[in-house]
Structure 1
Amino acid sequence: NFTSANKYYSNGKLSYEAEGWVPAGAAIWYFKNPVKIASGKQIVIALKNAVDNTTTYSNSVNLANSEYYCTYDISGQYTNTTSYPSPASVIPTSHYLSASVYGAGNAWPLSTISPTFFIFNTQGTTPAAFASDATKREDYFGSTALVSLKVPVEWILDGVEIKGQGVDGVKRLTSTVDAGYVTMINGFGYSVYRNVDKEATEAVESNAGKLVYNYSLGTIDQQDGTTDPSTIDAEASIKNGARIIYKDTNNSTNDFHQRKKASLKD
């Protein structure tokens, strides 16, 4: 968690930043088969509970969708059905991601109050082979439950650092991966959404007459709340046929905001 003690800090700096790696705690997930994403398109990956969650929590999201992917691998250690209920039957098994586990526990420990998440490509090896290489592991915290994998920074495609509302703490991602952080208020069905690159989006000729402005789903009215400064409603514009270019400066303070309603509910 953002507020947890972090022994990787020395003189106010992350010790692994100078060494060029970021720890991936307990396990990594990977696609069993190559996935191609067309330019301007997206895919959805349910990290837990790939079911219709709205039946339990009305503000949550229905993840029972045949086009969605999910982290669901019970062939080994992750057998906790509370964290990993069987995915909705409409999700094909070919959309299940596999896990390479090197920490203890029967479920992947993803924080609910301040998750930090990053995606990466292995280079010159497979995800499973990389995860099984004991020389790439780090047990600095002295606990088998908290074993991490040293992921080289140059492999990382993107990441986002999230903190809880009204708390102070220490960053976990290095400045080259994410120089900032974004706040998320837990328990209300809010989500973290990437900001629109206004100049780049307005420069797309085919967007003329398709962009929707006066975005109103930010949380600027709440403590630590944020909104998209571009004022462009990305989801409404996409439905209008627009092509959205998102901010990507490797600083989530600038690149993301907290959204009152998850975009998947629109």
Structure 2
Amino acid sequence: MNNIIKHSFFILLTMLTMLVASCSYDEQINTYNVEVRLNHNVDGVAVKMTNSIGSTFEAATDANGIARFTLPSGIYSVSASKVSDDEYFRHVYNGALSDVAIGSNNTTIELPVSITTMQTTNPILIKELYNGGCQKDDGSGKFAIDKCIILYNNSSETVSLDNVGFGIIEPYNAEANTHSFLNGGKLDYADKDWIPALNGIWYFQKGNTIAPYSELVVNVHGAIDNTPTYSNSINYANTAYYCMYDMEATSSDGGKYNNTRYYPSPADVIATSHYLKAVKYGKSNAWPMSQTSPAVILFRTEDITPKQFGENPDNIIYPTGNEGNIVYACLKIPRRWVIDAMEVYNATALAKCKKRLTPDLDNGYATLTGGYGHSLIRKVEKTVDGHAIYQDTNNSTNDFYEADNCSLR
């Protein structure tokens, strides 16, 4: 019996010794310092390292794009990910490596990370509208065939101008005696999902972009140096400028935008790739943007080009009582496509002016005294790292001011 007890005690003692030895062995597992370096200096990227038995270790990168770990030896897979949203874009960071051996100190792992940037809202704004013309040198009146629209990229990313276009809303002038879509004080399309773009639309050719925090000048009429004849006017002979010029766009009555007073051959320095193209469905020989009080929209079509959309007769609308009359032909631009919009009232006829843009697009209006070189310029909200950020409240009364001169002078 004593032998049995002694033997059992020996076995128990042996097991305890093995257990203690095992614990001591576990406590002595070697660990190593590891740095995971991304190929971009981005902080806050979540980095995970998972070994062959499924143990996962996590750390975040610092401002230099480095995540630091203390790890036991083994074979690891490495992954990194981050989603970052700013006002206009979503930035997605992703990277992965497999079969990474850890077994020596001061190991550095170079992890390539790709960045995908997706536009969540559109940062392009109408920064300035110059449409009222200037005084002629001889004092005989105004010269107004020198209009322009200046866009601005309010973000830190380059933005494509593919499928981006311009339209003007019926009627041409806010102070017009007749407003075909306004009945009983309510716009016929107030509860619709579209807005009527009158006469024709213009759009950028494919491949053009607007750089971060930069402006882009689009001449509407007179893409030449106008200053030799009218010293108060604008010189559009600039390689960076764009212009509305399309002698081929044709409406159903055979009409073209070919009035050479409005469309002299553009200055040679303006590349043909900077010519905006037109879809013409109304009756005129020039795009009739008002000299006194236009309502301008900037839009981007979705899943269809502006040309395809504009040339589809199913997308044309006429005011009640003028069905089929090409003079009143409008294109039903979906309101969700509108990037920016600007309502202008004639400062000398405010009492007569009526709204054309719905409140979701522009809840106010900017006033203009035309004929004296004045321009409507968007207010700067703040500066970020030396870059202007322009105000955008969807209310032109708040967002714009009337300047004495166009900023291009």
Deviations 1:59-97 (A, max 9, x none): 221111111000000123111101111111111111101
Residue segments in structure 1 that go unaligned for 5+ positions in a row: 207-241
CA apart distance, 1:49: 0.5
Aligned to 2:329: 147
CA apart distance, 1:251: 0.4
Residue segments in structure 2 that go unaligned for 5+ positions in a row: 1-172, 250-255
Aligned to 1:42: 215
Q: Is residue 137 of structure 1 aligned with residue 316 of structure 2?
A: yes
CA apart distance, 1:3: 1.0
SS of the counterpart of 1:130?
helix
Please give the root-mean-square deviation of Cα atoms over the aligned residues, in Å. 1.3
SS of the counterpart of 1:159?
strand
SS of the counterpart of 1:244?
strand
Aligned to 1:2: 174
Q: Is residue 116 of structure 1 aligned with residue 295 of structure 2?
A: yes
SS of the counterpart of 1:53?
coil
Q: Is residue 188 of structure 1 aligned with residue 380 of structure 2?
A: no
Summarize the alignment of residues 16-55 of structure 1 with structure 2, pairs less than 5 Å apart: 16-55=189-228
SS of the counterpart of 1:145?
helix
SS of the counterpart of 2:373?
coil
Deviations 1:218-266 (A, max 9, x none): xxxxxxxxxxxxxxxxxxxxxxxx311111011000000100111111x
SS of the counterpart of 2:258?
coil
SS of the counterpart of 2:314?
helix
Aligned to 1:74: 247
Give 1:80's aligned amino acid: N
SS of the counterpart of 1:55?
coil
Q: Is residue 249 of structure 1 aligned with residue 393 of structure 2?
A: yes
The CA distance in 2 between the partners of 1:34 and 1:121, in whole Å, is 14
Deviations 1:78-130 (A, max 9, x none): 11101111111111111101101111121111111112211101111111110
The CA distance in 2 between the partners of 1:59 and 1:96, in whole Å, is 25
SS of the counterpart of 2:393?
coil
Aligned to 2:354: 170
The CA distance in 1 between the partners of 2:238 and 2:211, in whole Å, is 19
The CA distance in 1 between the partners of 2:275 and 2:392, in whole Å, is 28
Give 2:367's aligned amino acid: T
Deviations 1:15-46 (A, max 9, x none): 21210211111111011223221221121100
Max Rg structure: 2
The CA distance in 2 between the partners of 1:146 and 1:50, in whole Å, is 27
Report how many residues are paired. 225
The CA distance in 1 between the partners of 2:330 and 2:406, in whole Å, is 30
Deviations 1:121-158 (A, max 9, x none): 11111111100111111121623122100001100000
Aligned to 2:58: none
Aligned to 1:238: none
CA apart distance, 1:7: 2.3
The CA distance in 2 between the partners of 1:80 and 1:146, in whole Å, is 20
Which one has the bigger strand percentage? 2
Summarize the alignment of residues 222-237 of structure 1 with structure 2, pairs less than 5 Å apart: none
The CA distance in 2 between the partners of 1:28 and 1:112, in whole Å, is 17
CA apart distance, 1:11: 3.1
The CA distance in 2 between the partners of 1:10 and 1:249, in whole Å, is 28
The CA distance in 1 between the partners of 2:376 and 2:229, in whole Å, is 21
SS of the counterpart of 1:264?
coil
